[in-house]
Amino acid sequence: MNAQEIEPGLFIRGLTPPLRLSDFKLVAFDMDSTLINIECVDEIAAAAGRKAEVSAITEAAMRGEITDYKDSLRRRVALLKGVPLTALEAVYADHLELNPGVEAFVQACQSAGLKTLLVSGGFTFFSDRVRQRLGLDFARSNVLEVEDGHLTGRMVDRPWGDIVDGAEKRRVVLEVCELMGISPEQAIAVGDGANDLPMMSVAGLSIGYHGKPAVREEAMLSIEAGGMDRALTVLR
């Protein structure tokens, strides 16, 4: 189905706006390049002098050219071995910003009674801070292993599994819906990369925010210019 441009840089596919935000009960967000302006793994790699190498893998994974996301993330994290935690603090303090319109959109969702979920292939070092900053209800992401104040180049296995990839994002969204006693049709999923497509495919409304081509082709609402609050043009 072809997308319809309803405003410059704002496209809908299979939607008849306006939709009522209050008809939804959950909104799930990707973090890197969605809620925030950076890919954290790339910025950490800069501290190791390996940003170009890591960024190339990240970009290929987000475009869907690398189909094994877990392997791609392990490869990138391995290149971070030896980076001090102080470098992560500097990335958060000096480089990480919320994307335009994020606070307004999250607050609108919260005001309408939606629960908020951050589900990210990124790292708890950043997602815990972003969750607190935005007052989000739930979060799941990956844990970097640290020894003596430095990254080991590995991630820590969690009780639920090893790595948040596209399949885990989908599973978390479905699990939270079940725990809330709601249908996935009452969930909104927001993302930008290929690993967000599985959760976007099960949600009642999928929103692509400055998405990669694969996301722009699938999202019911695609924001390709401006801030995330432009979704409120469709959601009232």
Residue with tokens 């970097």: 144
Going from the C-alpha of 18 to that of each of 6, 52, 108, 189, 234, the distances in angstroms are: 12, 42, 15, 17, 5
| Residue 87 DSSP SS3 | helix
- DSSP label of 193: S
Q: Which residues contact 96 (CB under 8 A, 6 or more apart)?
A: 36, 37, 38, 40, 43, 126, 130
- Of 23, 32, 94, 165, which is the active-site residue? 32
Whether 30 sits among the annotated catalytic residues: the reply is yes
- DSSP label of 26: E
Closest CA to 48 of 74, 84, 75, 93: 84
Q: How many CA atoms lie within 13 A of 44 on its CB side?
A: 26
Q: Which residues pair with 190 in a beta bridge?
A: 29, 207
Contact 18, 236 (CB under 8 A): yes
pLDDT of res. 210: 98
User: Model confidence over 198-214: pLDDT tens digits?
Assistant: 999 999 999 999 999 99
Residue with tokens 């989908």: 170
User: Model confidence over 58-94: pLDDT tens digits?
Assistant: 999 999 898 899 999 999 999 999 999 999 999 999 9
Confidence bin at 139 (pLDDT 50/70/90): very high
Average pLDDT over residues 183-211: 98
> 47 pLDDT exceeds 90?
no
**Mean pLDDT (the chain, rounded):** 96
pTM: 0.96
Confidence bin at 49 (pLDDT 50/70/90): very high
Confidence bin at 11 (pLDDT 50/70/90): very high
pLDDT of res. 67: 84
Q: Which fold has domain 4-233?
A: Rossmann fold (3.40.50)
- Of 23, 30, 157, 192, which is the active-site residue? 30
